[in-house]
Amino acid sequence: MRAVAAFLCGLIFGVGLLVSQMTNPMKVIGFLDVFGRWDPSLALVMGGALVVASIGFWWVERRGRTMLGDELALPPRRPVDARLLGGSALFGIGWGIGGFCPGPAVVAASALSFDAAIFVVAMLAGMWIATRLASRFATSAGAGQAAAGPGAQ
């Protein structure tokens, strides 16, 4: 049941990205080209998505449980930090160069775009590197904790 729901969500999400043309980098670059000939289309994509998603999140957070009776597993609310801003800045630069963000890139690659496939492979490599970096930091933090005294585990 959960897998079917997730599959349908992915499918509808992907069709939405195709219909809105988010999968076409030229369209995305046209939206980001505020100082040139600006194509405001993607503002409507985001606006439309936000209206519906806001209602859904408001409703489910009010219920406190999913329709299947499970507990919510939404990300906790944390303060803004340098990691968030630095990572988002790197993402923005990559988005501006290629015109692809993760979801549309996966869908465009699935539509057999060779360029999108190259991008996706590089993106997965980038994600893997980020995870390696994070686990290195986590390991050194864990070592610090272990040195501070017995306990964890």
Residue in 109, 139, 138 with CA at minimum distance from that of residue 124: 109
The tokens 């057999």 sit on which residue?
A: 112
> Which is closer to another protein, CB of 85 or CB of 143?
85
DSSP state of 80: -
Exposure string (b/e) for 15-28, b if CB count within 10 Å is 16 or more?
eebbebbbbbbebb
Site membership for another protein, residue 142 (CB under 8 A): no
Tell me if 98 sits within 8 A of 77, measured CB to CB.
no
Tokens encoding 39? 């194509």
Cα separation of 105 and 124, whole Å? 11
Question: What is the smallest separation between the CB atom of 143 and another protein, expressed in angstroms?
Answer: 20
Out of 61, 136, 142, 146, the only residue in the binding site for another protein (CB under 8 A) is 61
Site membership for another protein, residue 141 (CB under 8 A): no
Work out the burial of residue 60: count CB atoms within 10 Å of its CB; fewer than 13 is exposed, 13-18 middle, 19 or more buried: middle
Site membership for another protein, residue 77 (CB under 8 A): yes
Out of 66, 139, 140, 145, the only residue in the binding site for another protein (CB under 8 A) is 66
Site membership for another protein, residue 33 (CB under 8 A): yes
Site membership for another protein, residue 62 (CB under 8 A): no
> Which is closer to another protein, CB of 36 or CB of 150?
36
Site membership for another protein, residue 127 (CB under 8 A): yes
Site membership for another protein, residue 93 (CB under 8 A): yes
Site membership for another protein, residue 147 (CB under 8 A): no
Out of 89, 138, 143, 146, the only residue in the binding site for another protein (CB under 8 A) is 89
